[in-house]
Amino acid sequence: MQLVEVMMAAAVFTAASGGSLQVFARMASSSQQAELRQRQLERIELDRLQLQALWRRELLGQAVCISSIDQIRAMAATLPPPPQVVRDLRAGDQVDELRLRWRFEGEPGVVRERLLTMAGLGASCKATAPLTDSQVEGVE
């Protein structure tokens, strides 16, 4: 073998090794980011389940219907969110709807969003029918 062939073989081997290491590093980084993202989503899911259990437990014992979003927010405030998770509770389009949004500190986008209703939480809010004229007057 001549020196030129040895030098070319060494250059090809070095380039291939470097390329292979870059691919390996990218795969490892991608895998690590996916694992981190999965752990973050698990934290959000745990917070959602804990909130839902708290609300159902509180609403189950209520004789009257809770329709105020402020009351639901007050219940949620007793349970702090997991570390680095930002929880946002907003009123929905309907009277008994609540929109929950979770995101992570430092990340601008919404990661998860849920729409809850009082009936979905297990509240037995039964609307009373309006009184008829004969009921008001006492006529049977």
CA distance 117 to 62: 16
Q: What angle do CA 100, 104, 107 make, to 5 degrees?
A: 115
When pLDDT is averaged across residues 24-39 and rounded to a whole number, the result is 86
CA distance 49 to 97: 18
pLDDT given at position 65:
60
Structure tokens at 6: 């040895």
Residue 50 has pLDDT above 80, yes or no: yes
N residues, the chain: 140
Residue 131 has pLDDT above 80, yes or no: no
pTM: predicted TM-score of the whole model, two decimal places? 0.64
Q: Give pLDDT tens digits for 16-29.
A: 888 888 888 888 88
Confidence grade of residue 124 (pLDDT, cut at 50, 70, 90)? low
pLDDT given at position 138:
54
Q: Higher pLDDT residue, 127 or 66? A: 66
pLDDT given at position 73:
81
Residue 69 has pLDDT above 80, yes or no: no
Residue 112 has pLDDT above 60, yes or no: yes
CA distance 48 to 40: 13
Amino acid at 32: Q
